[in-house]
């Protein structure tokens, strides 16, 4: 199996026991006449599996999205990922689109709550005649 991306992390569960977590995304390849498949592996979290899509680019994007969704889900269940240096892994640094969508949804919800408290906009009133500027010479 040829991997195009591979990153090692240390996973720490609530019991405090560290475990190696290796995230891998493979090379997209044809699967049948029209479908494409991309192998994904997250050791210690999920077994290796194939993600399917319509073309090579789509299946690669879906595979990376699968990795992000899986790691976010595991974080909610208590898995803390650390870099080899011991620093905590900011998942948003790897999966920005997912984080941006979450932040935009939060912003829209907050804006919707504020909107009802704001007075409605009123049209501007005209005050006198409009003046013409002097011609440029």
Each residue's pLDDT tens digit, 4-62:
999 999 999 888 888 999 999 999 999 988 899 999 999 989 999 999 999 999 999 99
Triad 26, 31, 32: Cα angle to 5°: 170
* Mean of pLDDT values over 70-87: 91
Confidence category of residue 110, pLDDT binned at 50, 70, 90: confident
Nearby residues of 71 by Cβ (< 8 Å), 6 or more positions away: 23, 42, 45, 79, 81, 91, 95
Domain extents in the chain:
3-90
What is the pTM for the complete model shown?
A: 0.70
pLDDT of residue 108: 87
Q: Which residue(s) pair with 39 in the sheet?
A: 50
Cβ contacts of 24 within 8 Å, gap of 6 or more: 3, 5, 6, 39, 40, 41, 42, 43
92 compared with 41, residue with greater pLDDT:
41
Query: What is the arithmetic mean of pLDDT over 54-75?
Result: 94
Share of the chain above pLDDT 90, in %: 52
Lowest mean pLDDT of 34-48, 74-88, 102-116, name the range. 102-116
């Amino acid at each position: 199996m040829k991997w195009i991306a591979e990153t090692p992390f240390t996973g720490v569960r609530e019991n405090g026991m560290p475990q190696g977590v290796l995230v891998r995304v493979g090379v997209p390849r044809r699967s049948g006449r029209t479908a494409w498949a991309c192998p994904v592996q997250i050791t210690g979290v999920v077994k290796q599996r194939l993600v399917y899509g319509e073309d090579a680019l789509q299946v690669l994007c879906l595979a990376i999205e699968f990795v992000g969704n899986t790691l976010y889900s595991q974080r909610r269940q208590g898995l803390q990922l650390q870099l080899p240096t011991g620093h905590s892994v900011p998942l948003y640094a790897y999966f920005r689109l997912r984080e941006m969508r979450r932040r935009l949804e939060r912003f829209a919800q907050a804006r919707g709550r504020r909107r009802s408290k704001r007075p409605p906009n009123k049209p501007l009133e005209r005050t006198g005649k409009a003046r013409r500027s002097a011609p440029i010479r």
